[in-house]
Amino acid sequence: MLVYGDHQDEVGIADALASLLKRLAAIEASEPGIGRHAALVAALIEAGRLQQGVQDADFEQSGVDRITPAGQALGAFLTELAELVIASWRDPAAPIAALPKLRELKDAPDRLRLNLPEGYAFYAVYPEAYADAAERLRLDAPPKVIGLRSIGTSLAAIAAAALGAPPPVTVRPAGDPFDRKIEIDPELERDLLAQPAHYVVVDEGPGLSGSSFGAVADWLLAKGVPEQRIAFLPSHGGAPGVHAQPRHRERWPRIQKQVADLGSRLAGRVASWIEPLIGPLERAPMEISGGGWRPLLLVDENQWPPANPVWSPRKFLLRAGGAEWASSFVGLSEEGNRKLRIAQALHEAGFAARPAGLAHGFLVQRWHGEARPLHAAEPPLEEIASYLTARVRLDVPRPGASLAELLLMARRNAGLALGDWAAERLDAWTPCLSELQARVRPICSDNRMEPHEWIRLPNGKLFKADALDHHAAHDLIGCQDIAWDVVGTVEEFGLGAQQVRELVRAIEARTGRLVDAELMHFLSHAYLAFRLGQASMAAEMVGEPERRRWQHRIDVFGERLRVRLNNMEPVATPRISSLGRQPERTASGTNLHSQG
C-alpha cells in the first residue's frame, strides 16, 4: 500500500546560509534557558538539512557517496555545534561557548533540495537523546560514526560529539525501499577502513524494513568488519517491520544497540519546559498519546476510533492554575513555529483554544474535557464551511501530491485490495489529469475531517481537534485543493446529495472560489483508496483490539470504493450529487457510517 510520502523544500544555497547565520546571531543575543536551547537545536537541524542537501546533490550527480570540501566543512561545523547543544542540554542556564564559524562552501551547488526530517517534525525524535545513547555504548575501538541521510546528518553529529569522535561520514541508502544498498567511492572507503574502528550507525527508525541500517551493516560486513564492532543508535526499541529482509531481521538482535529515546523521562522534561508558560503543575503529566485521550471524551468503547501509537504524536494532559492543559508535540525548529502560527490563526477564527505557547517542540492549549466529539449523524455544515474558509487564509508551506501521484497511489491501493480490475477502472482518469491539475489551488488543507475530530463545548462552540499536522504529515497527501477536505467531509460524515450541495454552496459563498465538481469526482476515488491503504497498513502495525477497529475501516473504505468503481460514471460528466449517497452496507450488513 502507498501511504507514506517525503517532503522537500527547494532553496537557494545563499538563502539557506543567510537563514542559518541569522539563527546563530539570534542565539548569541538570547538569554540562557530552554528558549535558547531550543534555538540551538533548531540551528543544528537546519545545518543538518543543509548538509543533506549538499551531499545528496553530489550523490545524485556522481551516483556514490564521496568526500567533498563542502561536505567536510558542514560536517565539522555540525559537530562543533552539536558540542554546544550537548552542553546546553546538560545545563540550559549555563553560558555557552563561542558559536562555530562555517567555512566557505566552494563546491556546493546554487540550488538544493532539503528534505524534511520526519523524526523532528512528527515523532518527537530529540537529538539530545542520541548524546545520552551514544555515551552508553561499549566500544572496543575508536569510534567512527556513520549517519544515514536525511536526519542522520545532525543525529550523527550529536553522536560524534558525545563520543569525542571525528566528524561523521554520512551516506544515502538507495534502491529498493525494503532492501537498500549504499555506494561508496574508493577514497571514502579507504578513509572509513584505514584504521580499526568501532562503527556507530545513526538514524531514526527502524521502519517497515530496517533496510537503511541493514545496508550499512551489509557493506561493513562485506569489507571484513566483524559484527561485534558495529553498533546502532535507533530512535525506538522495536525491531524492523514486516518488510524486513531475513538477514536484517536475524542480525538485528545480535548488533549492539542503544535506543535514543527520552522515554519516560520526556514527561518530566516537558513539565519543566511548559511551567514557564502556564505556571507550576499541580500534578504529574498524564500521557494521552496513541488514543489515550479516548476514555476521557468517549465513555463507550464502541465509539472509539482506531489508534496507531506509531502515528500518534506525543501528547500530555497537564493541570496548572486550576485549569487543564493539553501539550502536544508539533515539531522542532521551524515546523513547530509554523504550527504555532496555525494554532493562533484557528483560535482567532473561533475553531481552537488559545495556545499558551510553544516550548521545544510542544504546543500548549487549554484542554476541554467537558467537550464531546460529534457523531456522523450531526454534520455541522455551516460551521465546517466556515472552518475550511479559515484554512484557505493560512500559508501553504509546500504543495502536496500532484494528481498524477494521487492516481498512482489510488491504482496501487485499489489494485492490492480489490484486484486488477479496480486499478484498470481508475485508468479512465489518465487522459484528463493534466487539465484537472491546472485547476488545482492548494490550501493548507486539514486532511482529517472525521466526526470525532470535531468537539462541541457546552456553550455551543465547535472546535476542530488535530488540526495542525495533517496538511504536512508523514504521508503523501500534503496540501491539497479545498475539494480534498470537502470530499473528506462527505466520506467521513456520510453526507447525502442535498447535504453535499449545501456544503459546497456555503463554502463557495464564504471563499468566493468554486469547488470543482470534476476534481471532487476524482478525489473521491483517491481519498477512499488512501484511507483504505492507511487502514490496511495500520492494521499490520497494531495488536487487538486496535486491529479490529482498523479492520472495520478496511471493510468500510474497501466496500465503498468497490461500489464507487463499479458504478463509475464517465469522467467527463461529473455531478456534485454523484458524491452524495444513502448509508451503504457491507456484505456483512455493517453500516458504513458506524464508528464501532
- Quick: pLDDT tens for 330-351: 999 999 999 999 999 999 999 9
Cα distances from 328 to residues 155, 274, 455, in angstroms, run: 23, 11, 17
- Residue type for 140, please? D
In terms of Cβ atoms closer than 10 Å to its own Cβ (0-12, 13-18, 19+), residue 17 is middle
CA torsion angle for 149, 238, 260, 200 (degrees, to 10)? -60
The Cα–Cα gap between 591 and 111 comes to 52
Cell, residue 130: 542520541
Q: Is 350 left (phi over 0), alpha (psi -120 to 50) or beta?
A: left
CB-based contact 113:169 (threshold 8 Å) = no
Neighbours of 95 (CB within 10 A): 8
**How far is the C-alpha of 538 from the C-alpha of 305, rounded, in Å?**
13
For 370, phi then psi, to 5°, come to: -80, -10
Give tens-digit pLDDT for 10-55. 999 999 999 999 999 999 999 999 999 999 999 999 999 999 999 9
pLDDT at 595 over 50: no
Contact 53, 16 (CB under 8 A): yes
Across 289-293, average pLDDT: 96
Q: How far apart are CA 265 and CA 248, in angstroms?
A: 30
Sheet containing 454-456, strands listed edge to edge, beginning at the edge strand earlier in sequence:
372-373, 454-456, 462-464
* Residues 203 and 150: beta-carbon distance below 8 Å: no
- Write down the pLDDT at residue 572: 54
Confidence of residue 229 (pLDDT cuts 50, 70, 90): very high
Instruction: Give pTM, 2 decimals.
Output: 0.92
pLDDT digits (tens, 9 = 90+) for 470-490: 999 999 999 999 999 999 999
